[in-house]
Chain A
Amino acid sequence: MSTYSFRHGQWVSFPAPAALHAGAHRTSKGEVVGIFSRGGKDAAGNTSPDHIAVVDPEGYNLVSSVGGIVLNVQVHPSQVSAAPLLDKRDIPERRREIPKSIELKP
Chain B
Amino acid sequence: MALLIPNEGEVQLLTDLLGGGTLENWTLKLFQSNTTPAETDTAATYTEANFTSYSAQTLTRTISASTWNTPASGSPTGSWASGLGLSGETSVAESPYGSSARSWTCGTTGNTIYGYYIVGATSTKLIGAEKFATARTLANSDTLSFTPRIGLA
Q: Which residues of A contact B (CB under 8 A)?
A: 5, 7-11, 35, 37-48, 50, 53, 55, 59-61, 63, 72, 88, 91, 94-99, 101-102, 104-105
Contacts and interface: CB of A to CB of B under 8 A. Distances in A.
6 contacts: A42-B2, A42-B115, A45-B146, A91-B40, A94-B45, A95-B41
Interface residues of B, number: 42
Interface stretch (B16-24, B29-37, B60-68): B29-37
A21 to B, nearest CB: 15
Interface of B: 1-4, 6-8, 11, 33-42, 44-45, 78-85, 115-116, 130-134, 136, 144-149
A99 B8 contact: yes
B51 to A, nearest CB: 17
Contact of B2 (A38, A94, A102): A38
Interface of B is mostly: mixed
A30 B133 CA distance: 29
